[in-house]
Amino acid sequence: MIDLYLQQNPDTKLYKNSVLEDESAVFFMVRENFQKFLIIHQSAESQGAGAFEGERIYTGNSYFIKCPLSPGNSAALRNLFSFTRPVLIGKQNSYGLGDRLGNAGAAHLKAIRKTNFKPILAQQSIRELQRTGRTAREVIDAATWAVFREGYRDGYGADGDHLKTKEDIDLMVQAGYTMFTIDPGEYVVNEAIRMNSKQLETELISLPWDELGDKPVDFKSRYSGLKAELADGYVLSPSEQEITAGMVKYGRVIAHTKKMADYLHHTYPDHPAELELSVDETDQPTTLFEHYLIASELNRLDVELVSLAPRFCGDFEKGIDFRGDLEQFKKEYHQHLAITEKFGGYKLSIHSGSDKFSVYEAIGSLNKGAVHVKTAGTSYLEALRTVAEADPSLFREVLDYSKSRFETDKKTYHISCELQKVPDANDLADHQLKKLLDDDDARQVLHVTFGSVLNGTERNENRFKERLMECLELNEKLYEKNLETHFDRHLEPFN
Ligand SMILES: [Zn+2]
């Protein structure tokens, strides 16, 4: 039957992994004139595909439905096939594969299925939704089609990333997300390390002890004299000052996380949900005692985490490798892991995880515990690598525009590149353009300006998105090969 369709539509390419037969119908995905469709074939008597919208094509005593990849058809597909819905991933190795353009999922799956990692295909923060001009549901829809196209049946997760308010949770639940990354960053008291003991005592008393279900005196007696054995015989034994400072710094973080977790579970008791806590965006690295304190308090408050993102030592800048003392990172990571084991074995989560090849080596060589790595911008950079190869003049325009936007757009990012080091597009020959994607300065300039490039800076300006999408669709093979190769490099060090 598939052959019949392909014979009648000679310019059509079949995605072979997508073919799925159930009792009454055959489903498969094709590409026609650089557009993708879901095709459903049914014998005339059966009616199962009624939920799908599309053109009905009759041939003899059977017919095909040619369905665009519309929001309605995405929802119908998720209703029909459970493997196209996001699920809970749990405490096993996982990779967050942010896909800002919505066309990288299939290549992500090609790389991931060679490993023992589970994919979090949809990974979407509220901030990034605004920059990409997409909805939370569109991001899930893109993942739905990716798993269908690849015939990936092992389950994927969907991560509502850096959620700060109850409204953020509502939005992500309604769109079908299953992982909820709580970001209580605003509640961190970074000044705690500079306070004297009198100030610390005052601050400690003023914490929301009711919400914490606790009293300062009980808190102190729980931690005073603590000796917790971690890895390699190391014993964590914080001073009284460290204990108080830790709670002053993170007490409100713990209370807020408890509130968000309770809101999620009480408001949506039937919605599958797993929780990550991210404290990665603080001034100073998370100390072992701070991690211990957060984990132990959340444990006392019955908040179960699937993962926690500390702020590790060294620099995790966007789009480039780790900068810092790798040996120190490895030692600390090992100790952080020992803390997770004491409180339920949740995963350590690496934010700004793109391109941290030396960190992957370090974690892979420990070969212990479970890890979650979050990536996003690096897939956009692979898209630009493809454009540099396939349409140099479009890439030149994007590069010049990115350079012009850099000083404004860089503000919310942790990066250190220098704009002057990135050459002007016109000074480079075509074959030199793609090498910019291997240059740290150029990578960061291109990385932080994605919102302006995709969406324009004024309302509806939409500068480059359509042209980029078209170029990638025309060069799908090259794009997906670039992505797969790139993610093989991300994943190999763990295996
Ligand atoms: Zn983060």
Give the tens place of pLDDT for each residue, 311-330.
999 999 999 999 999 999 99
Q: Are 344 and 274 in contact (CB under 8 A)?
A: no
Classify 355 in phi/psi space as left (phi over 0), alpha (psi -120 to 50) or beta: left
Q: Is 275 helix (H, G, I), strand (E, B) or coil?
A: strand
Residues near ion ligand 1 (CB < 5 Å) are: 280, 351
Q: What is the mean pLDDT of the chain?
A: 95
> Residue 366: phi, psi to the nearest 5?
-70, -40
Beta 118-125 vs 94-97: how paired, if at all? Answer: parallel
User: H/E element holding 400?
Assistant: helix 392-409
Residues 234 and 368 in one domain: yes
Alpha helices, H only, 282-325: 288-300
Query: 308, 342, 377: which is the final residue of a domain?
Result: 377
The residue among 318, 418, 323 whose CA lies nearest residue 375 is 318
Clarify whether residues 314 and 355 are in a common domain: yes
Q: What is the pTM of this model?
A: 0.95
Find all residues with CB under 8 Å of 414, minimum gap 6, and list them.
Answer: 315, 316, 317, 318, 352
For residue 483, which of 403, 369, 376 has the smallest C-alpha distance? 376
Residue 303 to residue 343: CA distance in whole angstroms: 11
Please tell me the distance from the alpha carbon of residue 307 to that of residue 348, in angstroms, as a whole number. Answer: 6
Given pLDDT bands bounded at 50, 70 and 90, which one contains residue 48?
A: low
Residue 484 has pLDDT above 90, yes or no: yes
With 0-12 CB in 10 A as exposed, 13-18 as middle and 19+ as buried, what is 62?
middle
User: Do residues 341 and 422 both lie within one domain?
Assistant: no
User: Using one digit for the tens of pLDDT, what is the confidence trace for 68-94?
Assistant: 999 999 999 999 999 999 999 999 999
Cα(282) to ligand 1 centroid in Å equals 10
Q: What is the largest CA-CA distance in the chain?
A: 87
Distance CA 61, CA 90 (A): 47
Per the structure, the complete domain to which residue 6 belongs is given by 2-80
492 assigned to some structural domain: no
Q: Do 240 and 105 share a structural domain?
A: yes
Are residues 49 and 151 located together in one domain of the fold?
no
Between 323 and 411, name the one with better pLDDT. 323
Where residue 14 sits, what CATH number does that domain have?
A: 3.30.200
- Percent of the chain at pLDDT above 90? 88
Inside any domain, residue 493: no
Q: How far apart are CA 491 and CA 112, in angstroms?
A: 8
Of 18, 53, 80, the last residue of a domain is 80
CA of 26 to the centre of ligand 1 (A): 42
Q: Identify whether residues 74 and 6 lie together within a single domain.
A: yes
User: Which CATH number goes with the domain that contains 257?
Assistant: 3.20.20
Can you list the alpha helix ranges (DSSP code H) found in 81-215? 105-112, 126-132, 136-150, 166-175, 197-205, 209-212
Answer whether residue 490 is part of any domain.
Answer: no
Confidence check: pLDDT of 47 > 60: no
Q: Which residues contact 417 (CB under 8 A, 6 or more apart)?
A: 440, 441, 442, 443, 444, 445
Residue linked to tokens 């132990």:
296
- 152 and 200 part of one domain: yes
- Cβ–Cβ < 8 Å for 490, 94: no
The answer as to whether 495 is a domain residue is no
Tokens for 423? 């050459």
**358 & 444 share domain:** no
Percentage of residues in the chain having pLDDT higher than 70? 98
Q: What token pair was written down for 348? A: 């350590």
34 CA distance to ligand 1 middle (Å): 35
The pLDDT of residue 456 is 81
71 and 160 in a single domain? The answer is: no
Instruction: Give the residue numbers marked as catalytic.
Output: 161, 276
Per-residue pLDDT, averaged over 447-453, amounts to 94
What is the number of domains present in the chain?
A: 3
Distance 40 CA to ligand 1 centre (A): 41
- Average pLDDT (378-400) is 97
Give a yes or no: residue 436 inside a domain. Answer: yes
Which domain-ending residue is among 377, 398, 416?
Answer: 377
User: Does residue 206 sit in the same domain as residue 279?
Assistant: yes
Q: How far, in Å, is the centroid of ligand 1 from the Cα of 124?
A: 11
Select the more confidently predicted residue: 50 or 397. Answer: 397
- Examine the domain organization and report whether 93 and 112 are in the same domain: yes
Within this chain, do residues 223 and 348 fall inside the same structural domain, yes or no? yes
